[in-house]
Amino acid sequence: MNHQKNILLVDDDEDFLTATKLVLEKSGFKVETCMSAKECLAKLKLTMPDVIILDVMMESDHSGFDLCRELKRDPHTKAIPILMLTAVDQKYPLNFASAAGDESWLPVEAFIDKPVEAHVLVERVKKLLRIE
């Protein structure tokens, strides 16, 4: 790895943040965390991560969706790949996986279900960053 890649991890579950941060750090990434959409937007004014890992539901059911749409609209953050995480049942009411990539609806680069195993998440992040 030429230089350490930065990841911004956004989730409202503190335990999940702690566990995931550790796994990503031990896998060679530099990780910053935040617990709300508002905090995330504030942080993005100061740093420019290489990838954002974002939970669908935080303060409200749609805050994750709204945040990723906002990020994709802003020319400053538009290019940052987003990996979306969710604990919503895959089958109901919406099939997120098939919608990932739909610019207007769910403009994210990748999508992963919760719970996710450490190596699966790491591989997915590496793939997004085109790291071998």
Partner 1 sequence: MVMTSTIKKTSRKHARIVIMDSDEEMLKRLTKSFGEEGYKVETAEQTSKMLEKIKNEKVDILILAVDSFDATGYELIPIIKKMNGLLPIIAISADDSIEMATKVREQGVFFYAIKPLDMKEMKLVLKNAFERRVTRQYEPVITQKKKVVRKDFEDEILDLTEASKILDLSKQTLRRLAKRGELPASRIGNRWYFIRNQLFEWLRITAAGNQRNYGTLILETMDEGVAVVDKRLKIISCNSAYLQALDVPRDKIIGEYCYRVSHRSMVPCEESTCPVRQAFKTRRPVKFMHVNYDSDGKEHYCDVIALPIKDKQGDVSQVLEVIRDSTEIYDLNKHLNWITNFFIHESRKTLGPIVMNISALVDNKLSKTINVEKRNEMLLSSLCSLKLLYDMIRNYVISYRAENRTIQCLKKAVDIQHAVFLPVIDELRPLFYRKNMTVETQIRGERAVYCDGDLMKIAFSNIFNNATKYGADGTKIQCLLAVNDEAFELSILNEGIGIPRNKLDDIFAQFARFDKQGMSGTGLGLHVAKMIVEIHNGTIRAESGFLIEGQPVTYDEFYGNENLCKTKEKNLRRFARFILTMPSGERGEKLEV
| Chain residues in the site for partner 1 (CB under 8 A) | 12-16, 18-20, 22-23, 26-27, 35-36, 57-59, 87-89, 92-93, 113-119, 121
* Strand partners for 113: 86
Nearer residue to partner 1 within complex by CB, 6 or 36: 36
Tell me the C-alpha distance between 110 and 127, whole Å.
10
List the 51-55 sheet strands across, edge first: 30-34, 6-10, 51-55, 82-86, 110-113
Does an H or E element contain 17, and which? Answer: helix 14-26
Minimum CB distance to partner 1, residue 86 (Å): 8
Nearer residue to partner 1 within complex by CB, 67 or 121: 121
Tell me the C-alpha distance between 34 and 25, whole Å.
15
Minimum CB distance to partner 1, residue 39 (Å): 9
Nearer residue to partner 1 within complex by CB, 62 or 119: 119
Minimum CB distance to partner 1, residue 51 (Å): 17
